[in-house]
Amino acid sequence: MTIIYRIYRTIFVIAIVIGFAFIITNTSITPAFAIKKFYNCMTDLSNKSGKLTIENVTMCYDKEYHTGPYYTHNHSTGGVGK
């Protein structure tokens, strides 16, 4: 093995490790933002009305996790929630 081959191999391994770390980090952080938005939605609704009902919780869940009536996908425009 030449020294250049070893350098390229080392750079390749480091790039693979960084790529996997990036993918793992992104997949674990994204759900954290969704739960934050969910709690913020519930807090906003309870502060407006002074009470929190199960309907409010369901509405926030559907809105933030794209389920229920708040999630529609329009194939012609490619938008979410339109």
The tens digit of pLDDT for each residue in 15-65 reads 999 999 998 887 777 667 778 888 899 999 899 988 888 988 888 888 877
What is the value of pTM for the model shown? Answer: 0.47
Select from 65, 74, 1 the least CA-distant residue to 10. 1
Q: At residue 81, does pLDDT exceed 80?
A: no
Four-CA torsion 67, 69, 70, 72, nearest 10 degrees: 80
pLDDT class of 8 with cuts at 50, 70, 90:
very high
